[in-house]
Structure formats: structure tokens, C-alpha cells
């Protein structure tokens, strides 16, 4: 487990900046089983990867790692549990970028026309809706890097502090991205990058031709019920895990 002082400092940084980096949480050996299972399992994949892979035993084990739960529960509440996992794959054969954005869509148990929620969509059989800021402020993403993430292999980039601005329009996102300094979240293998979904973030294509960095991204949702409605998420506390590989 993380030392108490390190955990407290990380949580304080995440709350203030909207992101944080915790080094050396996992060893390469601990992550190799998940990488092997993700490679060998017949997942339904898109160019960027595969959604909803928490059912894989090795992925579920990573999601329930004590260090991840400690970080998440310190930020969003004591009862957060793993819920969903997605695998992203950035390689020499599938080298992609993501423009500046906020993560505003959440998975839902069913569709309910609640003010502030929507538009709606379905991804691989799961219902999603764009959520209001009140719900998104209760979310934390944790990206566990299987390999070294560097400045040249398409790492996550963030604009610190923007998680406090609420849900922005496309025009506001472009303006903020154009006038603000971005931080590249580089981290050694086994490190964790924590991110609030409303912080502006992006990633470039890799400038390297070699596979050399991958990460796991997890999102934990603290609340189970939208304020003033009977709408429910799947669980009282939910944890969404994303797995990704970057060329390095």
C-alpha cells in the first residue's frame, strides 16, 4: 500500500490540479498477465481498442488492487468498486490521436429522461449519457502504465485546473486549449496517472515507430443516484477501468 503521507499528497494534488502521478505502483511482472490475456482473448476491437473488458480475470485483479482503491476512495468516497474496463491500443499499426476534450459520458443501467442528462448513445450494448457537472465531479480516472510513457509516444496531456470550470462547450475547449499550457503526463512502467474527467485532456500520435508504452485507465464513480431523480447507475459505487497500449 502507499505510505499515508504519499497518499495524502497525491490526493491533495489531484483535487487542486485535476490530475496526479503516482510512481511504481505495479511491477512489470504483475501487469504481464493482463497484457497476455488481452492479446490472446478474442475481444471485439475497434481501431483504438476494446470496451468492457473487466470480465477478464487479470483485468479485474488490477482494478481491485489496494493502491488503486486507496487513491480512488480518498478522492471520491470510501465505497468505490470496480465497474467497467476498456482497452486502448496505440501501436505502429494503429497510431491515433485524441483532440482536447472532457470525458462527459457515463454508463447507465437504463435510459431515463432526467434534466441535465443526454444526449444518449449505446456503445457495445451499454447505454451512455452525457452527464451534468455534479455527477462528473464525483469521477476519478486512474491510468496504470504497463510500459514507460514518454514525451514522444503519445502520452496523456492535461491542462491543470480546468476540472473546476464545469462542462465546457466545444468553443470554450478550443479557446482554453489555445491559451493554456499543457502538461505531458509521462510516467515509468507501473506508475499511475490519476485524472478528473472534467480536466481538459488530449493525446498526440506517437512520434516513435516502436511499441514501448501502455497504460490502464480506471474511472471510479462515487454516487449511485442522480440528484433529484430515481435514475440509478449499475452499482452503488462504480469503477471503470481502461487498458491501453502506446507505441514508444
Q: What confidence score (pLDDT) does residue 229 get?
A: 30
**Averaged pLDDT, 29-34:** 82
Separation between Cα atoms, residue 83 and residue 80, nearest integer Å:
9
**Averaged pLDDT, 113-132:** 88
Per-residue pLDDT tens digits for 200-218: 999 888 776 554 444 444 4
Share of the chain above pLDDT 70, in %: 81
Ranges 9-18, 69-78, 212-221: which has the least confidence: 212-221
Taking CA 143 as the corner, what is the angle to CA 137 and CA 148, rounded to the nearest 5 degrees?
A: 150
**Averaged pLDDT, 22-40:** 83
Give residue 239's pLDDT band: very low, low, confident or very high (50, 70, 90). very low
**Averaged pLDDT, 109-129:** 86
Distances (CA, A) of 220 to 6, 68, 130, 153, 212: 20, 10, 16, 26, 27
- Spatial strand order of the sheet with 139-145 comes to 19-22, 192-195, 139-145, 211-221, 238-247, 84-89, 49-50
**Averaged pLDDT, 139-148:** 80
Separation between Cα atoms, residue 213 and residue 225, nearest integer Å:
37
pTM of the model: 0.83
Q: Within a 10 A sphere around the Cβ of 219, how many other Cβ atoms?
A: 27
Domains and CATH numbers, the chain: 4-247 (2.60.120.620)
Separation between Cα atoms, residue 35 and residue 245, nearest integer Å:
9
Q: What confidence score (pLDDT) does residue 210 get?
A: 55
Taking CA 72 as the corner, what is the angle to CA 67 and CA 73, rounded to the nearest 5 degrees?
A: 100
Model confidence at 224: pLDDT above 60? no
Q: What confidence score (pLDDT) does residue 226 get?
A: 28
Share of the chain above pLDDT 90, in %: 25
- How buried is 120 (Cβ within 10 angstroms: 0-12 exposed, 13-18 middle, 19+ buried)? middle
Distances (CA, A) of 79 to 15, 48, 49, 63, 127: 18, 31, 29, 14, 23
Amino acid at each position: 500500500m502507499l505510505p499515508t503521507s504519499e497518499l495524502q499528497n497525491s490526493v491533495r494534488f489531484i483535487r487542486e490540479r485535476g490530475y496526479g502521478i503516482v510512481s511504481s505502483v505495479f511491477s512489470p511482472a504483475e501487469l504481464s498477465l493482463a497484457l497476455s490475456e488481452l492479446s490472446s482473448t478474442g475481444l471485439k476491437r475497434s481501431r483504438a481498442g476494446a470496451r468492457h473488458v473487466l470480465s477478464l480475470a487479470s483485468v479485474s485483479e488490477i482494478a481491485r488492487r489496494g493502491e488503486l482503491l486507496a487513491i480512488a476512495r480518498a478522492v471520491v468516497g470510501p465505497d468505490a468498486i470496480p465497474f467497467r474496463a476498456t482497452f486502448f491500443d496505440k501501436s505502429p499499426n494503429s497510431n491515433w490521436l485524441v483532440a482536447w476534450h472532457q470525458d462527459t459520458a457515463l454508463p447507465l443501467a437504463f435510459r431515463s429522461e432526467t434534466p441535465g442528462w443526454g444526449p444518449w448513445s449505446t456503445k457495445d450494448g451499454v447505454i451512455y449519457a452525457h452527464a451534468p457537472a455534479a455527477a462528473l465531479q464525483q469521477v476519478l480516472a486512474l491510468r496504470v502504465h504497463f510500459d514507460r510513457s514518454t514525451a514522444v509516444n503519445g502520452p496523456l496531456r492535461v491542462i491543470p485546473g480546468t476540472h473546476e470550470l464545469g462542462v465546457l462547450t466545444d468553443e470554450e475547449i478550443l479557446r482554453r486549449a489555445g491559451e493554456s499550457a499543457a502538461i505531458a503526463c509521462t510516467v515509468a512502467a507501473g506508475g499511475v496517472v490519476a485524472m478528473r474527467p472534467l480536466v481538459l485532456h488530449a493525446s498526440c500520435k506517437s512520434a516513435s515507430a516502436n511499441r514501448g508504452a501502455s497504460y490502464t485507465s480506471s474511472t471510479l464513480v462515487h454516487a449511485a443516484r442522480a440528484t433529484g431523480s430515481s435514475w440509478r447507475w449499475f452499482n452503488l459505487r462504480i469503477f471503470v477501468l481502461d487498458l491501453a497500449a502506446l507505441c514508444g
